[in-house]
Structures are given as structure tokens and as C-alpha cells.
Structure 1
Amino acid sequence: MAIKAAYNRRQTISYHVVLAVVLCLLLARPLHAWEVTGYVGMEDLAFIERPLDSRQHMNYVSGVIEAELYHEWDNGSQVFAFVPYFRGAQYDSNRTHFDIRELTWVKAAESWELRLGIREVFWGVTEAVHLVNIINQRDMVENMDGEDKLGQPMINFAFIQDWGTVDLFILPGFREIPFTGVDGRPRPRPPIDVNDAVYDKNGFARQVAYAIRWSHSIGDWDIGLSNFYGTSRDPVILVETDLTGQMLRLIPYYQNINQTGLDLQATIDSWLLKLEAIVRVNETSTDFATVAGVEYTFFNIADTGLDIGLLAEYLYDSRGVFAPTSFQNDFFTGIRFALNDVQDTQLLAGVIVDSESYAQFYNIETSRRFFDNFRLEVEARFFNGAQPNEPAYAFRNDSHFRFELSYHF
């Protein structure tokens, strides 16, 4: 526990250093014309089946607020952005949390950009899962889809040339995944013990990571080639059992990795061809994973403004049943609707099917704006047919709906 406390203190210090440097740079300039935007919202998680653990509940209510403070000066070549985020949740104390999604200063020139502070960086082109998107840690108490990310302290220098853009990253301050607590859902049983995580490396080697990415567009193709060295954002879950084989607890194990990633997307008429692939090297093995697929869009059907996209992807992980995800040898199919109306109405529905056990994971997401400033989001997630040896089996009773009504300002 002393080591854990020391690590948390060092992580706090790294945040304070980033905050101090960014604020000093900011206060060195006269500021005006600030822009403030954001939203407040109420969310309801409604589960269909009784929980496996009596400490869990059928319904969870929470409130959220996110604001963005934005300012640019020096003819737009310097930018400051601050995005604080807070959620207050019923029952699950792990889900009540505050995070700085962004606190960044950007200096842009004709052939380079310097970005200093806390930021979120997205890499990827596929729909079902983003293998190459490794810079930020997942915020799993927000949503189990992993799309929400924690802010990551970084120094990011970008070289912008005719032959492409090269991004260099120094990433101080490793952040563990926040998992749902004992009272929360969805979660496995027993819950994941975040207080006793295991690491390959300690000290400086654990806290600082490095990354580089080259990206470029050549004709119809958008290409990204990246490398990441440091503590993996994707832990392996270790199982601790008693002498009878009964599970006592689940422990996250964060490996030190060297990951090379490739993302490709080609736009050919109404077709999108997509690929993400990674090779991940750790102390004991070399693993490979990929997602490849297509998307075809029917635009402006019957002159109504409606676009319909059809999606299909294949997901593979060489670790098989030992992979920390369920996406080992699966197929994803989906359909996307965009009304392109004033209310920005959208819907995405899809299913991932395991090619061996035929277990299914269904996902539906839809959103629509009301009265200029209000937005309603509805999500539905259903688990069906997972076998006891599959990670998804832990969520067999956790099919649910999510409703969020938000006011944007």
C-alpha cells in the first residue's frame, strides 16, 4: 500500500506540474474573447434482468456536467482550452468522479505545432473497436464501450510536411482504468480490485510512455502508422482463486509493451474500406490483432436527406481465449441512419457475433436534438449466448438501456 500511495503522489505531482506550466504560459498573454460552452445532463441506467450480486441494483441515476473554456490569440496561432468534467452517481461511488478532459496550450506555425498539457488524442477508423487508439486511458465507469477517455498529460510536437505529419509524444503520469465498484453495473463477479493492480515496471518506467505517429493522405487513402512504448492501457485481468477453485477477486495486470499500429481508410465513391492492425510485444509474447471492414452509404435517399450506411467488419486477436476482450474471432454487422435534419437525428445499430460460440452482443445508439439546446440520447445493449469461458459471460445479466437528457450552452 505504501508503494501504491507513493505512486498516487507522484501522479498528482505530474498533474500539478502540467497545470502550473500551462497556466504560466497562458498568463503571459493578455486574454480576451473567451468562449464558454458545455452541457449538463441527467442519465438513467435501466437494467433488464436481476443482478448476479445482491449489492447491485436494477436502476442507476446520475448527473453530469462538462464545460469548455476556449481562447485563441496571436491571430489564431495560440490556443488555450480547459475542459473539466464531473459525474455524480447514485449507489456506485466509483462512478462519482471528476476529471480534467483537457487543459492544453497549443502553439501553431506553418510547419509545426506544439501542444502542451492534458489532452485527448484519437486514432482509428473502424467502428466496432479501435485497436490503435492507445494514447488515452479508457473511462470505463462512464460507459462500457470504452469510447470515453481520461485526460492524458502530454508533450506533443507535430512536424507538418508535404509528405505527411509526424507526431511525437512524451506521456507522463500513467492512469489506471477506473472500473465499476461493488454496487455498480455492469461489472463482472467478483468485481475488479483496482486497489491492488500488478505491473511489469515500477517508478519512472511505469509512469512515462512515448509514442510516435506518421499520418498522410495519398489519393483515396488515409494512412496512419504509429508506435507506442510504455505501460499498456489495456490490462490483462488475473483471477485469484481459493483451494477449491472458487474465484476470490479479479486483479488488473498492466504490462509494459511496445505496440506498432497501422490504420488505413480508403474512400472510393460510396465505399469506405477500413483497417486497423497492431503488433504488441511484451516480456513474454508477441501478439497480433486486427479489425478490417467496409461501409457502404446510400446518400440522400428519395431526396429526403436520409443517408443509410451498411457496415461489416471482422475482428481478430491472436491471443484467443486469453485475450482480455471478447473480440477474438468475431464478425460485426451494423446499419447507420443519418436524417441530416435540423435536429441532427442519428441512429446506429449493430451486432457482434462470435464465430465459434455464436454469442451475440447487440448495440443500439440514437440521439436527437430538441428545442435548440436539448439533446436526448438512448442506448441499448444486450448480451446473449456467451459461454462460461468467454469474458462476455460475466455480463450475461447486464443487458440494459441508457437514457440521457442534456442541456447544451
Structure 2
Amino acid sequence: MLAVLAPLAAPAGGAAELSGYLSFEPRVFFDAPLRPTQPDAGLSPAAVAAPEWRFDAGDGTNRFTLAPYFRVDADDDERTHADLREAVWLRIGDTWVSRVGVGRVFWGVTESRHLVDVINQTDLVEDFDEEDKLGQPMLNLERWVGPGSLGVFVLPGFRERTFPERTARLSGAVPVAADAVGYESGAGSRRTDLAVRWYGALGGWDIGVSAFHGTSREPRLLPGLDSDGEWRLAPYYDVIGQVGLDVQYTRGAWLWKLEALGRRGHGSDFGAAVAGFEYTAFGIGGSGADLGLLAEYLYDGRGPGAPPTLYDDDWFGGVRLALNDAAGTAILGGVIVDGNTVLGILEGERRLTGTWKLEAEVRWFRGSDADDPLLAGFRRDSFATLRLAWFF
């Protein structure tokens, strides 16, 4: 890929930049698998290439970004995949910005879950936390309105959620058969969706209000038998309408956060919310390090006819430590608790040199069928990932 992109030189008056990273990402599962068809505990290596090429026309009003993504995984054929994260033309006017192509858009403020982030589909084979997103074809126009901006999104074409291979780890007690997909819309994956969002800053308040109508990025998972007589879950994508709100209030060392939505289209209407705070103690112990304390409550009122969720009535607590040193050392640890079920999170990162970076992630699951049948399907899939990345 580097050999392909490097010769792309900018025309006279423009500027081109090639950046990105290559990484080696071994993953270790701590326990024997839940199902005998899954790989045993041990090392599961993977490698990633994520180049990004940017061309700026030179006048500050036109920019093109091309960002493909490639992963090779030794144990999960579905996790071995390629995606076009971005191939987008950005044009900046006096009071407006437009984006045309394939892009990624993030909405949200909370730490434990991003309820209102509805534009891009989740690339679930990347990580359990649903943070990684697939590129979405889009036409986007944003215009400055009052103290903020109003954005309109036309989203032609739908991206199906990725799922681990049926015999892979993190595929749950009953695996998902992604090839058995169904749609409420007769247009299937060719349906065009619409979204609109206003975002602005008012004093210490950052506020986003959004609406979406189109194919749900969350599928319902319908049980059935495959051709071999084995149980499997088939993704089914409903057409939904959703309104969302994300708010962050900053006061001194305190950040107060809220994400909330109302949705219809999965049977009965429902609402969901995540609310909490982050308090940062700056320069702890006379050092240059900062310590953040996080707490959030997660509520989701969806009924049995809606896509499944782990976060219906949960609490999240966490700690974020930033050493603010030359190596950018940072650690985040936290737990999401619902009765007797626990999802634990530990992340750390540190630059080794100007071009090398080391990251570590740990996810651990504790739960039983009686406490939370969904999380129980992952109770033997606790894992750690070490990521060594070279940036160019």
C-alpha cells in the first residue's frame, strides 16, 4: 500500500501528505472457550496497516483524504478484512463546510457508551467496545447557525455490522450468521438514510441535538437453525426514527455529561440515556500528572423486540491517569457493573520513540446466564491485547 500511495504527488500549488501506521497486535485469551469449536486459550496474532493520504489544494478551501484499513488475523477469517474508512472531499466556504464521499463522523460525550453516534456502522470484529467504525458513503453540508452549526447528512447505501466468525472467540454463546441478513426496507442495503444535527457552544455548555431516519445500525438478532441444524442468530435491520441529545457542561475541574435518545421502529418506542461526570485533579502530589475520576449511569428502556444490549441498568466507574510526560503515558481503568455481572476495562499507552508506540488493552467478563444471558456468552472470553505500532 505504501508503494501505491507514495507516488501520488500533489499538483503545483497543492500539498500532499502520507501518514498512518503499521501495527502488530497479538491477543491472548485467558480461559478455555465456551464452545468446543472455538480456539483454545493462547496467543492469537494479528497485523494492521492503516495508511492515510491527504491532499490540500493550497488555498485552504479544498482537501481530499484517502484512508484505507487492512487487518490480517490468524484465527478469525471475518476479522481478516479491509475497509475504506475515508475517501472524502472536504470543501470549506465562508459560512459552510461540505463533505462528499466516504467518511466517519463521531457524535457523543460520555465515556462508557455512545448512544447518539448513529452515522457510521460498528466494525465489531475490531473490538468488543464498539468504538471502531466502518466508512459510510455520505453527502454532508454544515452551515454556521447562531452560536453553532447545523449539519444535514444524506447517507446513500447501508453498511452491515461485522461479526466474529462463528467458530471464533467473542462470537457469543450462539454465533451470528452475518450471511443470513434481513431488512425491513425493500431497498435492503441500497436504502438512503437521512440525518440532521445542530451543535453549538453556549458558555460552559456544549450541546448537540440530532435526528435520524433510516436503517438501524443495530440489528435485531433472530434465532434459527442453519443448514447443518446448528443454532445461529440472523441479523435483521429495522427502519427506525431517532432523536438524540448530547450535552457537556464544563465548570473548573468538572465535566458533566449526558447522552440521551428516543427511538421508534423496534416494536414499542423506548428511551435510553447515559449520564455522569469526570473530575480531574491536576498536578497530583506536586507532579505533572493528572488524575481523572469518572462515574456514569447507563439506562436503556428497550423492549424484548429491540436489538439486544448489555447496558440496560448499569453503573460505570473509572480512573484516568495522564502522566503528561514526553512519552505521553496514559492509563484508563474502569468497570461496568449490573448486579453480579461485571465488564472490566484497562487501557494503557506510551510512546517508545518518535515513531514507535506501545498500547495494551485488557477486557474481562464476569456473569452467569441467570444474571445476564447476553454477557454470559462472553464469560470465558476475557483477553489482553498488546499493540506495537510504527507511525510514519
The bucket for the TM-score relative to the shorter chain is: over 0.9
Give SS of 1:127's match: coil
Are residues 54 and 336 of structure 1, via their aligned partners in 2, closer, same or farther at CA, if it must alter by over 3 Å? same
Shift of 1:303: 3.4
Q: Distance in 2 between matches of 1:283 and 1:146?
A: 20
- Quote the sequence identity (%): 42
Aligned length in residues? 379
TM-score, normalization by structure 1:
0.89
Q: Distance in 2 between matches of 1:320 and 1:303?
A: 50
Moved over 6 A (4+): 26-29
Gaps of 5+ in 1: 1-25
The answer to whether residue 206 in structure 2 is matched with residue 216 in structure 1 is no
1:42-191 aligned at under 5 Å gives the runs: 42-57=24-39, 58=41, 59-191=43-175
What is the CA deviation profile of residues 3-36 of structure 1, one whole-angstrom value per residue up to 9, with x for unaligned ones? xxxxxxxxxxxxxxxxxxxxxxx99975642111
Shift of 1:323: 5.3
Q: Distance in 2 between matches of 1:163 and 1:298?
A: 30
Aligned residue number for residue 5 of structure 2: none
Are residues 97 and 28 of structure 1, via their aligned partners in 2, closer, same or farther at CA, if it must alter by over 3 Å? same
Shift of 1:387: 3.0
Aligned residue number for residue 368 of structure 1: 350
Are residues 332 and 386 of structure 1, via their aligned partners in 2, closer, same or farther at CA, if it must alter by over 3 Å? farther
The answer to whether residue 350 in structure 2 is matched with residue 394 in structure 1 is no
The answer to whether residue 283 in structure 2 is matched with residue 300 in structure 1 is yes
What is the CA deviation profile of residues 299-331 of structure 1, one whole-angstrom value per residue up to 9, with x for unaligned ones? 122332101000000000112666511100000
What is the CA deviation profile of residues 200-246 of structure 1, one whole-angstrom value per residue up to 9, with x for unaligned ones? 1121786211000001100110000000100000112122269xxx9
Q: Distance in 2 between matches of 1:46 and 1:38?
A: 25
Corresponding letter in the other structure for 1:126: T
CA contact (8 A) 1:206 1:230 kept: no
Shift of 1:74: 4.2
Give SS of 1:136's match: coil
Corresponding letter in the other structure for 1:38: G
CA contact (8 A) 1:320 1:328 kept: no
Q: Distance in 2 between matches of 1:149 and 1:225?
A: 21
What is the CA deviation profile of residues 168-193 of structure 1, one whole-angstrom value per residue up to 9, with x for unaligned ones? 00001101011000232211133101
Shift of 1:91: 2.1
CA contact (8 A) 2:10 2:55 kept: no
Q: Pick the aligned partner of 1:199 from 171, 183, 196.
A: 183
Q: Pick the aligned partner of 1:277 from 260, 276, 292.
A: 260
CA contact (8 A) 1:316 1:327 kept: yes
The answer to whether residue 363 in structure 2 is matched with residue 381 in structure 1 is yes
Q: Distance in 2 between matches of 1:241 and 1:371?
A: 52
Give SS of 1:302's match: helix
Q: Distance in 2 between matches of 1:78 and 1:329?
A: 46
Query: 329-338 or 247-256, which moves further after superposition?
Result: 247-256
The answer to whether residue 204 in structure 2 is matched with residue 230 in structure 1 is no
Q: Distance in 2 between matches of 1:269 and 1:239?
A: 50
Give SS of 2:37's match: coil
Are residues 204 and 30 of structure 1, via their aligned partners in 2, closer, same or farther at CA, if it must alter by over 3 Å? farther
Q: Distance in 2 between matches of 1:198 and 1:204?
A: 8
CA contact (8 A) 1:160 1:166 kept: yes
Aligned residue number for residue 21 of structure 2: 39
Q: Distance in 1 between matches of 2:138 and 2:246?
A: 22
Gaps of 5+ in 2: 1-7
CA contact (8 A) 1:190 1:247 kept: no
Give SS of 1:34's match: strand
CA contact (8 A) 1:309 1:336 kept: yes
Q: Distance in 2 between matches of 1:89 and 1:296?
A: 38
Aligned residue number for residue 260 of structure 1: 243
CA contact (8 A) 2:65 2:87 kept: yes
TM-score, normalization by structure 2:
0.92
Of Structure 1 and Structure 2, the greater helix share is in: 1
Q: Distance in 2 between matches of 1:178 and 1:323?
A: 15
